[in-house]
Amino acid sequence: MDIMHEYNTHDSGGRTVSMVIPGYDPEDLDDLLESRMDADEIESFLSEEEWELYRNGDEALIDLLDDDEFRHLVEKKDVPIELSEE
């Protein structure tokens, strides 16, 4: 059975949208990204406010990245997940 996880992310206009990635746990996705990036690189993708939320553990990285940033990192860092083309 496929498990669908819905993540809140932001589009290029800053609006909150939902991104569904089937079969992946949000903590696992964060762990995968974090294992391939150092803190400076993560910080470069986030605003100051987002960085503080992430650093303090108030928000997960997956929830702070917009769809394009997430897709870019998955491809650039060779994260072993499959994303839909939507």
> What pTM does this model have?
0.64
What digits encode the pLDDT tens for the residues 46-57?
999 999 999 999
pLDDT for the residue numbered 79 = 78
Give domain limits for the chain: 4-14+27-76
**Residues in CB range of 67: below 8 A, 6 or more apart:** 9, 10, 11, 17, 19
pLDDT of residue 40: 93
Cβ neighbors of 7 (< 8 A, separation 6 or more) are: 18, 19, 20, 21, 26, 29, 62, 63
Copy the structure tokens of residue 6: 């819905």
